Amino acid sequence: MISVEQRYQRVIELFSENMPVAETELHYGNPYELLVAVILSAQCTDKRVNMVTPALFEAYPTPESLAAASVEEIYGYIKSVSYPNNKARSLSGMARMLVEEYGSEVPHDFDKLIALPGVGRKTANVILSVVWGESTMAVDTHVFRVSERIGLTEGSKTPLATEKTLLSHIPSGLVPKAHHWLILHGRYVCKARRPECPDCFLKEVCRYYQSPK
């Protein structure tokens, strides 16, 4: 039986060897575009978001232009994503707040980010991690599931508990990359219904794979 510390060390080694490049799959050109894309990605695939955002960004290339648009106009561009009515309202409110309170700049501050419509803890952590390389761990369904299966977390009942556990064991300089390691692994290998265990490079250290079935 390996210790928690040993498991983390080996998982980090294996990810470093097998996934040296790990970054967001959302397409964006600046912090404003990433913020829009992350809001749209809630309970929606990055692939779908990337199909929607080119036309959206062409129509509304700045917070000012998005703030000037009606919710109905925004909806027309994003109607194929999940929950388009709610997201159209969130994007409209977010853009207005960026313009009116933050000088049209995406704030580099957690509390200011989560004050924006459509932005919760996960989205704020993504922005801080991807844009500024901060040691924040955004816990989505993939991170929550994969962390538990591998054995990095045990009995974490909430995303916040998972976030705190991961941050307490992963070296701060690796946290931004580790966030994407876990997301991409959950997206393509450690899938929710049918994890592809035989092809997984974490088999030797994975609690789920090693446990009696």
Token duo for residue 135: 């040691």
- Tally Cβ neighbours within 10 Å of residue 87: 26
Alpha carbons 104 and 176: distance in angstroms, whole number? 25
| Annotated active-site residue in 111, 140, 191, 213 | 140
Token duo for residue 23: 């970054």
| Annotated active-site residue in 46, 47, 87, 122 | 122
Alpha carbons 77 and 79: distance in angstroms, whole number? 6
Whether 22 and 175 have beta carbons less than 8 Å apart is answered as no
Q: Is 140 a catalytic residue?
A: yes
Alpha carbons 143 and 192: distance in angstroms, whole number? 11
Identity of the amino acid at 212: P
Residue from 116, 185, 90 nearest 147 by CA: 185
SS3 56: helix
- What does each C-alpha distance from 75 to 63, 71, 97 come to in angstroms? 16, 6, 19
Alpha carbons 190 and 36: distance in angstroms, whole number? 27
Q: Is 46 a catalytic residue?
A: no
Whether 161 and 202 have beta carbons less than 8 Å apart is answered as no
Active site residue ranges: 122, 140
